[in-house]
A and B are shown apart, each in its own frame.
Chain A
Amino acid sequence: EDQVTQSPEALRLQEGESSSLNCSYTVSGLRGLFWYRQDPGKGPEFLFTLYSAGEEKEKERLKATLTKKESFLHITAPKPEDSATYLCAVQSRSNDYKLSFGAGTTVTVRA
């Protein structure tokens, strides 16, 4: 069964203080790894898809990277509006109809 573990559970940052979130995964044949952002009371918002080790994607202050065992979401010079829960999910080749999610990392950025 696909397994996704995210760390840390919570992260408190000062505005401008860069940091990284980790997503470790075990999957039998990775089709894709996905990052989502979720604000309280809302549905997850799609951020990135990564398909193969070595791949990187960037969007504003966020950068996602992928290795064979884990993915990192780097937040550079965060702002208070980056406060949210960041979810990592994997899709396997054998079960490509569903996403298996980690528990998420809740990021709080103080001004």
Chain B
Amino acid sequence: KAGVTQTPRYLIKTRGQQVTLSCSPISGHRSVSWYQQTPGQGLQFLFEYFSETQRNKGNFPGRFSGRQFSNSRSEMNVSTLELGDSALYLCASRPQVGEQYFGPGTRLTVT
């Protein structure tokens, strides 16, 4: 079975711009979660989608948003980028219950 895929793998943006990241979950997995990983804060939960609905959101500003499509693919958007948004953004998928499987991540650098 193919794993979780994320595109792009690397991204460089300028402060004030916006960015969209994409995630394709493992086939059959309907839940997709997004995490931000930084050296200082570690892995932090952003939000989770299930059947095209955002079920939960972490403690991040409204600049961070996402959506899920009918084929379970998900996108995450960050508007008005700040230097502190530089991080590895990880997507994870799982069946309705069970462990989460992570993709390789998108490394975002904001200059």
Contact = CB atoms under 8 A, between A and B. Distances in A.
Interface of A: 32, 34, 36, 41-46, 49, 87, 89, 95-104
Interface stretch (B12-20, B41-49, B65-73, B79-87): B41-49
Given A97-B33, A98-B56, A34 B42 contact: no
B90 A102 contact: no
Given A34-B99, A43-B90, A44-B90, A99 B45 contact: yes
Contact of B58 (A44, A45, A87, A98): A98
Interface of B: 4, 6, 31, 33, 35, 42-45, 48, 50, 55-56, 58, 90, 92, 97-105, 107
Contacts of A36: 102
B102 A43 contact: yes
21 contacts: A32-B99, A36-B102, A41-B105, A41-B107, A42-B104, A42-B105, A43-B4, A43-B102, A43-B103, A43-B104, A43-B105, A44-B43, A45-B102, A46-B99, A46-B100, A46-B101, A97-B33, A98-B48, A99-B35, A99-B43, A104-B42
A102 B44 CA distance: 10
A100 B33 CA distance: 12
Query: What secondary structure prevails in chain A residues at the interface with B?
Result: loop
A43 B42 CA distance: 13
Contacts of A104: 42
Contacts of B92: 43
Given A98-B48, A101-B43, A44 B56 contact: no
Nearest to A96: B97
Nearest to B101: A46
B72 to A, nearest CB: 15
